[in-house]
Amino acid sequence: MPTIYDVAREAGVSAATVSRVLNGARTVDPAMVARVLTAVRELGYRPNAVARNLRRSRTTLWAVIISDIGNPFFTATVRGIEDVAQQAGYSVVLCNSDEDPAKEETYVAAALSEQMAGVIIASSGSAKAAKSLLDSPIPVVAIDRQLPRGEVDTVVVDNEAGARTATRHLLDAGYRRIACVTGPEGVSTADLRLRGYTAALSEQQPPGEPLVARTDFREQGGYDAMAALLSSPERPDAVFVANNLMTVGALRCLADHEVRVPGEMGVVGFDEIPWADLVRPSLTTVAQPTYELGRMAARLLVDRIATPAGRPATVVLPAELRARQSSAR
Amino acid sequence: MPTIYDVAREAGVSAATVSRVLNGARTVDPAMVARVLTAVRELGYRPNAVARNLRRSRTTLWAVIISDIGNPFFTATVRGIEDVAQQAGYSVVLCNSDEDPAKEETYVAAALSEQMAGVIIASSGSAKAAKSLLDSPIPVVAIDRQLPRGEVDTVVVDNEAGARTATRHLLDAGYRRIACVTGPEGVSTADLRLRGYTAALSEQQPPGEPLVARTDFREQGGYDAMAALLSSPERPDAVFVANNLMTVGALRCLADHEVRVPGEMGVVGFDEIPWADLVRPSLTTVAQPTYELGRMAARLLVDRIATPAGRPATVVLPAELRARQSSAR
DNA sequence: ATGAAAGCGCTAACAT
DNA sequence: ATGTTAGCGCTTTCAT
């Protein structure tokens, strides 16, 4: 691979001049510019970003660490991030922690070692990863979930309000024994959505009794939790499921057990599913502004890189109920 | 941020010794090892990977460039790649070209500049990106789609056979006027799946007449193509759709036009959809071994990094028909 | 077993 | 406007 010195020799100039040309300095003679560009083309020269990054002690790469690449919520969010990043001159590298704290720590370590310009993270709950990030000078934005003990810029949706709306919706439809399937304790989305659910129940006269199943945020977890609820002595007549993949699992479980939805079991899920309207019965969900969430996070990161000091912002975006068939009665 | 020299000073040794300790050389006195590790911990030292990469002129990062992060086919494949990569000591950074050749070129350029250890790419069709990769010394594996004019390691499924099987399945079910919705010309999956479709038709007595709509591989494209077919004078009674997102679009279009599936229109899609069995009617698809495809691609890349020379391999994996309701008659 | 020193490829003072 | 030079942080000969 040719280096900048090969180009300099070929063009009969110094390496500094080549560097200036390539970095758009306008204090270079047009004739030199032409010679340099010709040499670059002839040699097929491509600047070594590693050397450049070392010298500049900064990069133009963002690490976006998400907790499940199979979850459409995250992939939609990434689209929003990418669009802003590209416009601001950054490239996005995506890291999939797969809800595994160990993997998350590996990716955080890589992002720090590689001197990435910034990190956007949907925490899988690793306190160690969070600490590494907070102890480092690297700008961080948390999305979807609060970073453990993290005083950082954050973009989330109003999980509690969304969950309360979803649960009220089931109550209004006439369901009386409403269960909740939520995610791991300590993951903010799991806890806040649960809180919204219990809040809605306690507003009733008489207050509804919570019936809660905790599992991971995966499809299989939703399946298993639903199966447990079905065979419980106080079998519910409706369920609020706190994320999209678990909702899919719950639906599959209900189909396998031939439980009619919404007749025998009303269902509302949190997070939109791309094909929620094609499923029969179509699925009532609490939709989040995923793309906008990504854009907002990226904007915060751009600002934070420009202004490392300053108080962290928390942006809360609204979530919105999309009533469809699965919650009708 | 502390450097290796700060650690050396703190531990009372040379930077070379610190480097040896951190890189697992066993020619270091255990007492020194202990002192170095203490110093590392106390200073919160983290090696600068950029400097290391420059010095070693290699990295441990793979770029995986996929053409649509919203497509479950790719995200499932990425999982397979990641598992092998991690085991082999590489980190995967995912780049989403979004079926946009310009974005693809940007990411290829970044991968080359950043001296990534290898690239796995599902080409969006950019000849320029392909040329950059082939002209460079970086090891490359193409997945899903042939790299334009690319003599590189490749992992694909047997697109033609899968498409033929799907089309025959519709013929066997009694459909007589079968259309095909496929992707852009020049994208190998689009062309080969079309070829399988026409092959199945021409095996008939008398040969069936092809009815082809070309569009992009996106959901909206599938919707529009289906709408065009519906209003065509020779309206088909079945359709073979050459990828999953377009199939979703086609289904939505059929739902909007209140065309009964499979009664008025049989549907088979290529690529599995995560919730194909939850949709009503459940969807007949040609399923690909996505995870295995990812693993295979990663293994080829590991081998290629170890042995840069040598003839490129092409691995063809089987695709398998999953008959469900949408193609019954 | 350890240290001194060179150099990976680039950019940015500084000098001219 | 251009060139000279130092050095980003690390690894790896080469000497000892």
CATH number, domain containing residue A30? 1.10.260.40
Cα-based distances in Å from A164 to A173, A187, A192, A195: 14, 18, 10, 8
Q: What are the tens digits of pLDDT across the range B188-226? A: 999 999 999 999 999 998 998 999 999 999 999 999 999
Contact A256, A226 (CB under 8 A): no
DSSP-assigned states of every residue in B34-100: HHHHHHHHHHT----HHHHHHHHT--SEEEEEES-TT-HHHHHHHHHHHHHHHHHT-EEEEEE-TT-
How many angstroms separate the CA atoms of B131 and A148, rounded?
45
Q: Would you call the peptide bond into A47 cis, given omega within 30 degrees of 0 as the criterion? A: no
pLDDT attached to residue B315: 98
- What is the total residue count of chain B? 329
- State both tokens at B87: 């085991």
Chain A nearest C-alpha distance from B148 (Å) = 20
pLDDT attached to residue B125: 84
User: Which of B 11-50 have CB under 7 A of nucleic chain C?
Assistant: 12-17, 20, 27-29, 31-32
Using the 3D structure, point to which of B12, B31, B54 is the last residue of a domain. Answer: B54
Q: Would you call the peptide bond into A206 cis, given omega within 30 degrees of 0 as the criterion? A: yes
Structural domain count of chain A = 3
**B93 contact A CB<8A:** yes
**A19 contact B CB<8A:** no
pLDDT attached to residue B209: 92
Mean pLDDT score of chain A: 94
In percent, how much of chain A has pLDDT > 90? Answer: 89
Q: Which one of B106, B112, B279 has the shortest CB-CB distance to A279?
A: B279
- Provide the pLDDT confidence category of residue A130 given band limits of 50, 70 and 90: very high
pLDDT attached to residue B140: 97
pLDDT attached to residue A278: 85
pLDDT attached to residue B278: 85
Same domain for A169 and A150: no
- Provide the pLDDT confidence category of residue A329 given band limits of 50, 70 and 90: confident
pLDDT attached to residue B312: 95
Cross-strand pairs, A212: A180
Q: Residue B97, class by beta-carbon neighbours within 10 Å (0-12 exposed, 13-18 middle, 19+ buried)?
A: buried
| Residues of A whose CB is below 8 A from B48 | 54, 113, 115
Q: How far does CA B305 lie from the centroid of its chain?
A: 19
For an interface test with A, the pick among B278, B283, B285, B325 (most A C-beta atoms closer than 10 Å) comes out as B278
Does residue A226 surpass a pLDDT of 90?
yes
Same domain for B164 and B152: no
Type of residue numbered B174: G
pLDDT attached to residue B87: 93
Average pLDDT for residues A285-312, to the nearest whole number? 96
pLDDT attached to residue A286: 98
**A34 contact B CB<8A:** no
pLDDT attached to residue B280: 83
**Would the CB atoms of A107 and B114 count as touching at under 8 Å?**
no
Q: Which one of B49, B95, B280 has the shortest CB-CB distance to A93?
A: B95
CA angle B85, B86, B91 (to 5 degrees): 75
Using the 3D structure, point to which of A14, A30, A54 is the last residue of a domain. Answer: A54
Using the 3D structure, point to which of A29, A54, A79 is the last residue of a domain. Answer: A54
Same domain for B108 and B14: no
How many CB atoms sit inside 10 A of residue B286's CB? 29
Same domain for A86 and A144: yes
Contact B213, B182 (CB under 8 A): yes
Nearest CA in chain B to A281: B280
CATH number at residue B310: 3.40.50.2300
Same domain for A206 and A143: no
**Would the CB atoms of B53 and A48 count as touching at under 8 Å?**
no
Same domain for A250 and A138: no
Least confident of A47-51, A102-106, B23-27, B283-287: B23-27
What is the value of pTM for the model shown?
A: 0.92
Same domain for A134 and A17: no
Same domain for A113 and A196: no
Q: What are the tens digits of pLDDT across the range B53-86? A: 999 999 999 999 999 998 999 999 999 999 999 9
How many angstroms separate the CA atoms of A258 and A252, rounded?
10
Contact B268, B326 (CB under 8 A): yes
Same domain for B164 and B283: yes
Q: Strands, E, within A38-187: which ranges?
A: 61-66, 91-96, 118-121, 140-143, 153-157, 178-182
Residue A13 lies in domain: 4-54
Give chain B's residues under pLDDT 50. Answer: none
Same domain for A192 and A45: no
Same domain for A197 and A78: no
Same domain for B283 and B295: no
* Residue found under tokens 């009532």: A284
Which residue places its CA closest to the C1' of nucleotide C2? Answer: B17
